[in-house]
Chain A
Amino acid sequence: GENVEQHPSTLSVQEGDSAVIKCTYSDSASNYFPWYKQELGKGPQLIIDIRSNVGEKKDQRIAVTLNKTAKHFSLHITETQPEDSAVYFCAASRGGTDSWGKLQFGAGTQVVVTP
């Protein structure tokens, strides 16, 4: 099955700096790669996603890149703010009827943005 590795496990950044989280996946059939943000005491929430037919996607201060050949994808947060402090999860899914609903999550990255 799919295995998703995520690094780093913790990331401390100064407010205004950029943060980068990297993930690798093992299943070359995976074609959907979402990123979720989990604030303290809340459930994870989708912040951005990318599909395998796209190499990069941007939404304001966050961007995701995908390298299908190397089987890795990354989340970039620019101009970090204290409200960006949370646990971020990458995930991968191959879709199709043989993996219905199977979203394999990475282990998470605790991001701390200090003012």
Chain B
Amino acid sequence: DTAVSQTPKYLVTQMGNDKSIKCEQNLGHDTMYWYKQDSKKFLKIMFSYNNKELIINETVPNRFSPKSPDKAHLNLHINSLELGDSAVYFCASSLGQISTGELFFGEGSRLTVL
């Protein structure tokens, strides 16, 4: 059973389109995250939700809109895609704060904007 699963794994789309990535965790965690990994492998947090409430929004353009319908799901919708949005997006979850425990990552969704 996959702990943190995200779909799709690969996404190729044209500039200007709107796309969504879905994430689900079956670990019973109360905190979920979206991280962006660029072509140089640098990992940067985008959003963090605790019990469906937005906790962190790290200066991400408002074309990116996360939605957490419940504690087990955190989806990412991106409007008007740009070339610079090409990256691997990782969903992750943890029980409580980062400093109290492990961050569990999904396998990533590779987004390519043409």
Interface of A with B (CB < 8 Å)?
Answer: 31-32, 34, 36, 38, 41-46, 49, 51, 87, 89, 93-96, 100-103, 105, 107-108, 110
Interface size on B, residues (CB 8 A): 26
Give the complex CA separation of A38 and B108 in angstroms: 11
Give the complex CA separation of A41 and B97 in angstroms: 26
The 8 closest A-B pairs by CB, nearest first: A43-B105, A95-B99, A101-B48, A32-B99, A105-B43, A108-B41, A46-B102, A103-B98
Decide if B105 touches A94 in the complex (CB within 8 Å): no
- Residue among A43, A87, A108 having the largest count of chain B Cβ atoms under 10 Å: A43
Decide if A100 touches B42 in the complex (CB within 8 Å): no
Decide if A95 touches B97 in the complex (CB within 8 Å): yes
What residues on A are CB-neighbors of B100 within 8 Å?
95
Interface of B with A (CB < 8 Å)?
Answer: 4, 31, 33, 40-45, 48, 50, 55-56, 90, 92, 94, 97-100, 102-103, 105-108
Cβ contacts A to B, 5 pairs, < 8 Å? A34-B103, A43-B108, A46-B103, A100-B50, A101-B56
Give the complex CA separation of A71 and B31 in angstroms: 28
- Residue among A45, A94, A95, A101 having the largest count of chain B Cβ atoms under 10 Å: A101
Give the complex CA separation of A56 and B51 in angstroms: 34
Decide if A102 touches B42 in the complex (CB within 8 Å): no
User: Of the candidates A42, A43, A87, A102, which one forms a contact with B98 in the assembled complex, judged by CB atoms under 8 Å apart?
Assistant: A102
Min CB–CB distance B93 → chain A (angstroms): 11
Quick one: closest A residue to B55, CB to CB? A100
